[in-house]
Every structure is written in structure tokens, then in C-alpha cells.
Amino acid sequence: MDQESGATQDSRLKFYKTTLLLAYQTFGVVYGDLCTSPIYVYKSSFSGELQLHEGNHEIFGVLSLVFWTLTIIPLCKYMIIVLGANDNGEGGTFALYSLLCRHSRMGLLKSSHLEHEFVTCCDSNVSTKETRASLVIKEFFNKHRSSRVVLLLVVLLGTSMVIGDGILTPAMSVLSAVYGIQIMAPDLHENYTVAIACVILVGVFALQHCGTHRIGFLFSPILIAWLLCISGVGIYNIFHWNPDVVKALSPYYIYNFFIKTGTAGWSSLGGIVLCATGAEAMFADLGHFSELSVRIAFTGLVYPCLVLAYMGEAAYLSKNRGDLQSSFYKAVPDAIFLPVFIIATLATVVGSQAIISATFSIISQCRALNCFPRVKIVHTSNNIHGQIYIPEVNWVLMILCLAVVVGFRDTATIGNAYGLAVITVMLVTTLLMFLIISTVWNKHVFLAFLFVVIFGFVELSYFDACLAKLHKGGWFPLVVSAVVLSLMSIWHYGTIKKQAFELENKVSLDCLLRLGPCMGIARVPGVCLVYSHVTSGVPPMFAHFVTNFPAFHQILIFVSIQSLIVPKVPVSDRFHVSRIGPPELPLFRCVVRYGYKDIRDSYAFETQLIEKISEFLKRDLSSEQMVVIEQSLHGAKTRRSRELRFQCQESSEDVNELMEAEEAGVVYMIGHTCVISNEASCILKKFVINVVYGFLRRNSRSPAASLGIPHAALIEVGRVYRV
């Protein structure tokens, strides 16, 4: 008992230590974006017609809006509710969609995985008791395919907006911080400020290859120092300038604000919403850490420090209304201005890290579910599987981010674009949460409507204000999201058409075996792994190969890799091996199943696959021997026992043959396909398939490179697919 209690205590201490360590790392990855918002929120809020209203009631009204926005969206919505909707520890738009696809059958992505449906053991805590509203909603989506198409497009819209956010956040954060130089050197030309911001941004993206684990340890002390700094300055300003600013936490000041400012106050919501930027990144970055660690860091330090910072800045502005356009740095006492400026610049670097990490996570999920072109994904941590780095995406984000800084130069314009991107992602999450609450959690539909009404009303208000600034920079995230959404949709459409062609044109194994003697097919020593999406029959690529080159290897294994709509698949359930064809022919099929967050170790794949087939043969051998013993004990016929012993001997020979073939060499066969549209297709389909999808396939990583297939052992079979 003492040993058991001691082991339990040790495991508990290890859990606490790990959670606190992860909570510490979240400051360097998750919260940078949210915590650097005080640099530009007041400036963006008073950048429009609200500049004409500079009284204390207006300043206190903005503070009240900021406080309640922080309380309603990041704290109540995300910390309390949305984080609980994680998909076995994974967050983000696609994680919510994954839950819906798996539990409610609302997704288009489910159709390719029906044969090997897998639900992780972690889903056992989801309520299985269906409500009437849940059944009605599920029936509606099952009956109307167009509703599932719209749902997927909404998810892709949210995903594309996150990617757009990954461009705007670093530009907004770093440029806002660097403009503090003009407080020290008012005569410094704007070009120098922009150049310094660009140099810092290049450094931020150059550090990404180090990985979230190292970046978290490097950046966390910076952000903690930043939070303590702005909260300390906030407390000083509250007592030094205007202690009555505490009264502004009352919602009455919001009502009074809109009464006095009217449309100008409503328009300022486009700047006020920036105080909640980074809330979606908290959810999207969840896979890098844990639900508890994210909550501890936010409620313990981030939320109270931000409230004190905003209150202090409002207290300063109430006595210094002329400093509205540079209020953050003006509110810092001269004695500590330089240290605060340095920490602010470093903190914006951390802020950029939050959304960059979230972008990597989202794109990784999209890629695994065939909604994004093949890119290289580097796993930077052996312990936390969600910590990744995507080189191609990193450098594209950097180029676009630099283009935004050089092109816009003005933080007010960037802020307009930034606000629209942020609030759109939040609205998509709110809509998906309605379906999660009603159909996955199986709560009463009234609770789902209540969630949408409360949070949707707040977010729609901000969305309306951001749309009013469409001509002042708000167009940029719409253009970016439209381009990304189109590319993702086209890639998904083209991939589906390619897989459908393979399924429609697969060849019966019996037909191929009957043609074998006529064609004089020869057997070559070794093992051949034939990759395709076909899970029954022979893929058309292999049939094309055999008809033109009548020979194949001694051991033939048809491999089909499937990405299931779950985060992770246990290793014990990953390989599904079966024998196909007559016993005298060593032909096997292996379906390999991965979750969208699983690490695909291409180097160990060959060894694991051969081991699984060997285990499959030994398992058959063992079961047959048991049958022989049972038959003998019950006085069965001698002839039947001899037949079974002969089969056991054959199975043993199969294992030896497999080992010998592996020693002879393993080769990989994969299709080098050219996907083009039919001649009878409409012009739009020809443009989508022949031009756009063809361009994406040519410029993305090849299937062989994505699978980690060694070039020396690769056989590529050319084939034209007319879809």
C-alpha cells in the first residue's frame, strides 16, 4: 500500500510539474498576441471620428468596452467553454469540424473513411444520449448534401482567415512597437522605422526552425517581464493620474458612450476589438500544450495584468487627452521609458510567435485531411507531438508580412484589416460551437442558442463595425482569405476526383490472375510496396504497369494510407493487414491509418510494416496449430489433421519467404499521375483541374517525398487520369 501511495504521489507531482512547465511555456507561444494589444488598442479606437470626442466619458466608455470584451470573449467564451470542445487535446477550427464529422456525420471528409471508421477511446466521455433537436439537425445535414458543402466552406473560411491573421499580426505588433522610436527621436524619417520593423520580422521568422519548445523557453521570460511591466505602469498611472478610472468597469459607461458618440462610437468598435486579438490563437495553439496549462496562465497572470494595463492607460488619457495617438508610450514614466520600449519590442516578437504557431497547426490539420497542398512538416519536439514547423509556409508568411509593412506603413490601416480577420474567425467558431453543443455534447438546443445569442451578438457588433472600414484596409484579409479558400477548395476537389477515378477504374484481382499465364508474368525476388488509395481490388496504376511490363516482385503488398478524422490513432490500431488472392501467392493488403496530428515516421515505416505482416502470418500459424490439437483430442480424422499440419508448414514457409524477400530488397511503387479534365467538361472545370490544380500539384511536394520513400528504391508509374 505504501508503495502504491508513493507511486501515486510521484505521478501526481510529475503531473503538476509538467502542467506548470507547460503553463510557463504558453507565455512564449500562446499569449504574445493578446498581451501586446495595449500598444495599439487606444490608438486604433480613436483613429476615426471618435477623435472629436475626447472627454472622460468617451475614454471611460472605451475602457469599459475593452474590459467587458476581454471578459466575455477570451475569458468566458474561450477559457470556460470553447477550450472544452477540443478534439482529444487539439484545438482550432478543424478540430471542431473533426468532432462534427466523427460524431454527427456532417462532414464531406467522412465519406473516404467509412470502411475503416475509427473513434478514439477519448470519445467515450461524450454523451451518447440523443436529444430530439440533435436528431433533427443531423437528419437535415444527412439529407441535404449542399448543407455539408456550406459547412466545409465555412470551416475553410475560418481557416483561411487564421492564415490571413498570421500575416497581419506580426506586421501590426512589430510596427506598432517600433513606432515608439519616434517618441525618442521625433525627427526620424518613417522609412527608417519601417526598415527596423522589417529587420525584426525577418529575425522572427528565421527563428521558427528552432521549434516551439525552444522558442517557448526563450520568449516566456520576455512576456512575463512585459506583463509585470505594463501592470506595474498601469497601477502607477491609476493612482497618479485618476483613481476614479475604476468606476469605468461598470457597463453603464458603455451605454453612456454610445449615447454621447453615436455612429462615431459604433465605428470605433473596429479598433476596440483588437483587445481580443489572440483569443482564437489560444484555442488553435492548444495542441502545443494542454487545456489546464492554458487556463492557469490566462486566469493567473494574463487577464489581471491586461486589465490593469488598460485601466492605467485610460487614467493617463483622462488627464492628457492630446496624447491619444501615442498614448501607450506617453503613459510610461520617462525614467523607465527605454527599458519599456525594449521590452515592448521584444514582446511584439513573442506576439507574432503565437499566431505563427497557430497557423502551422491549422495548416498541418488541413494537409492531413487533403484540404491543403503537400508541404514539409518538421516535428520539433519528441515529447509534444503538436509542436511543428513548416518551412514553405513560414517563408511565404514572411514575404507577405514584409509586403504589408512596406505597402501599408500605417498601423491604423493594418488595424482595420487585422480586426476584420480576427472577428471573422471568432464568428466561425461561434457557429461551429452551436453544432458542437447541440449534436456532439447533446445539450438542450436552448443552451446552444443561448451561446450563439450572447457571444454572437457581441461579435456581430464588432463585425459590422469592421465591415464599415472595408475601404480603409479591411479589404486585405478578404482578398487573402478568398485566395487561400479557393486554393484549399480546389486542392480538395481535385484530390477527391483523383481518388474517385482510382476507385472507379480499379481492376479485379481475379481478372489479373487469370491474365497472368497468358501474359507470362515473371516473379522477381524482393518485396514491392504498391501505394494507392484503393482498399479493394487492384489499383489502375499497378494494372497499367503489369500490362506493359509483365513482372512483379515475389512479395506484393498493396498499401493504402488513410487520414482519419481523429487527432491520433493508437499504434496498435494503425496497421490493418489481410491476405488477398490464393494461398500460394504471397499477396497482402495493408491499410495504414493515421490521425491528422500523428507523426509519420517514414524511416521506420518499412520495418514496422514487414513486422506487422510477419506477425499476421505467425498469428495464422498459431491459430491453425490450435485447431490441429483440438481436432486430434476429439478423435478427428487423420486426413484432416494432416491437411492442417500441411497448411501450418506452408504458413511457416511464408514467414521465411517474407524474411528472405526483405533481405533481397524492398522497392516502392507509386503512381506518377497527370490529372486532367474530360474533353466534355465545362470551361470552369477545365480551368480548375487543368490549370489551378495542375499548378498546385507541380509546385507541392511529390507524394514520394511526403511519404519519405528513398529515391533509389522508387518505381514511378506514369498514368493519365481523366476526371
pLDDT tens digits, residue range 421-475? 889 999 999 999 999 999 889 888 999 999 999 999 999 999 999 888 888 888 9
Could you give the maximum distance between any two Cα atoms of the chain, in Å? 105
> Please, are residues 617 and 651 in contact by the beta-carbon 8 Å criterion?
yes
Q: Which of 669, 662, 674, 675 is nearest to 707 (CA)?
A: 669
In 3D space, the residue among 600, 451, 596 whose CA is nearest the CA of residue 87 turns out to be 596
Residue 600 in this model has a pLDDT that exceeds 60: yes
Do residues 243 and 312 both lie within one domain?
Answer: yes
Q: Do 563 and 704 fall into the same domain?
A: yes
- Low-confidence winner among 125-129, 217-221, 267-271, 398-402 (lowest mean pLDDT): 125-129
Report the alpha-carbon distance of residue 534 to residue 72 in Å, rounded.
Answer: 49
| Residues 340 and 319 grouped into a single domain | yes
How big is the CA angle at 640 (ends 634 and 643), to the nearest 5 degrees?
A: 135
CA–CA dist 720, 723 (Å, integer): 10
Whether 117 is in a domain gets the answer no
In this structure, the answer to whether residues 430 and 539 fall within a common structural domain is no
CA distance 418 to 483: 17
Q: What is the pLDDT of residue 58?
A: 87
**Residue with the larger pLDDT of the pair 41 and 653:** 41
Neighbours of 631 (CB within 10 A): 16
Answer whether residue 376 shows pLDDT above 90: no
Which one of 466, 494, 522 terminates a domain? 494
Question: Tell me, what CATH number does 31's domain have?
Answer: 1.20.1740.10
Go through 590-628 and write b for each residue having 16 or more CB atoms within 10 A of its CB, e for each that does not.
Answer: bbbbbbbbbebeeeebbeebbebbbebbeebbeebbeeb
Q: What is the DSSP string of 320-333?
A: -GGGGGGHHHHTS-
Q: Examine residue 14 and state whether it is found in any structural domain, yes or no.
A: no
Per-residue confidence (pLDDT) for residue 625, from 0 to 100: 47
- 691 and 657, same structural domain? yes
**Final residue of a structural domain among 474, 494, 514:** 494
Sorting pLDDT into bands at 50, 70 and 90, what band is 619?
confident
Higher pLDDT, 582 or 403: 403
Hey, how many other C-beta atoms are within 10 angstroms of the C-beta on 681? 16
Q: 498 or 389: whose pLDDT is higher?
A: 498
Answer yes or no: is pLDDT of 34 > 80: yes
Helix (H) or strand (E) holding 241: helix 212-241
Beta bridge partners of 587: 556, 580
State which amino acid sits at residue 140.
Answer: F
Q: Are residues 539 and 614 in the same domain?
A: yes
Query: Looking at the structure, do residues 471 and 616 belong to the same domain, yes or no?
Result: no
> pLDDT tens across 182-209, in order?
777 777 777 888 898 899 899 888 877 7
Q: Are residues 482 and 513 in the same domain?
A: no
Q: Does 269 lie in the same domain as 221?
A: yes
Q: How far apart are CA 46 and CA 61, in angstroms?
A: 12
Q: Does residue 262 lie in a domain region?
A: yes
For residue 8, being part of any structural domain is answered with no
Q: Which residue has the cell 484596409?
A: 473
Q: Where are the alpha helices (DSSP H) in 318-409?
A: 327-330, 337-368, 391-408
- Residue 119 domain-assigned (yes or no): no
**Contact partners, residue 701, CB within 8 Å, separation at least 6:** 374, 375, 376
Last residue in a domain, options 494, 527, 543 = 494
What's the pLDDT tens digit per position in 229-249? 999 999 999 999 999 999 999
Read off the pLDDT of each residue in 525-533 and give the average, rounded to a whole number. Answer: 89
Q: List the domain range (segments joined by +) for residue 615.
A: 506-631+641-722
Query: Closest by alpha carbon to 425, among 660, 167, 71, 158?
Result: 158
d(CA 671, CA 602): 18
Q: Is residue 450 part of a domain?
A: yes
Whether 152 and 275 map to the same domain: the answer is yes
- Range from 289-293, 602-606, 709-713 carrying the lowest mean pLDDT: 602-606
Could you tell me what percentage of the chain is helix, strand and coil, using 3-state DSSP and rounding each to the nearest 5? 70, 10, 20
pLDDT at 601: 67
Residue 2 lies in a domain: no
Task: State the pLDDT at residue 384.
Answer: 54
What whole-number distance in Å separates Cα of residue 575 and Cα of residue 569? 10
Q: What is the 3-state secondary structure (H, E, C) of 594-662?
A: EECCCCCCHHHHHHHHHHHHHHHHHHHHHHHHHHHHHHHHCCCCHHHHHHHHHHHHHHHHHHHHHHHHH
Higher pLDDT, 568 or 80: 80
Same domain? 452 vs 580: no
Q: Report which of residues 709 and 433 the model is more confident about.
A: 433
Give residue-wise pLDDT tens across range 73-122: 999 999 999 998 888 777 888 888 888 888 777 777 644 443 344 444 44
Write down the pLDDT at residue 121.
Answer: 47
Query: Considering the chain, what is the average pLDDT of its residues?
Result: 82
Amino acid at 203: G
Helices 391-408, 411-435: crossing angle, 10 deg rounding: 130
100, three cell numbers: 462534427
Q: Using H for helix, E for strand and C for coil, what is the string for 432-484?
A: HHHHHHHHHCCCCHHHHHHHHHHHHHHHHHHHHHHHCCHHHCCHHHHHHHHHH
Q: Which residue has the higher pLDDT, 417 or 651?
A: 417
Three-state DSSP at 592 gives strand
Contacts of 557 (CB under 8 A, 6+ apart): 527, 528, 529, 530, 587, 588, 589, 590, 609, 613
Band (pLDDT 50/70/90 cuts) for residue 228 is very high
Residues 78, 113 contacting (CB under 8 angstroms): no
- 189 and 228 share one domain: yes
pTM of the predicted protein model: 0.81
How many domains are there within the chain?
Answer: 2
Tell me, what's the pLDDT at 72?
A: 95
* Confidence (pLDDT) at 386: 54
Residue 475 to residues 174, 184, 478, Cα–Cα distance (Å): 21, 34, 5
Averaged pLDDT for residues 28-40: 84
Does any domain span residue 116?
A: no
Query: Could you tell me which of 168, 179, 167, 187 has the C-alpha nearest to residue 345?
Result: 179
Tell me how far apart the alpha carbons of residues 450 and 469 are, in angstroms, rounded to a whole number: 29
Among residues 667, 673, 668, 666, which one has the least CA distance to residue 540? Answer: 673
pLDDT digits (tens, 9 = 90+) for 153-170: 898 898 888 888 888 888
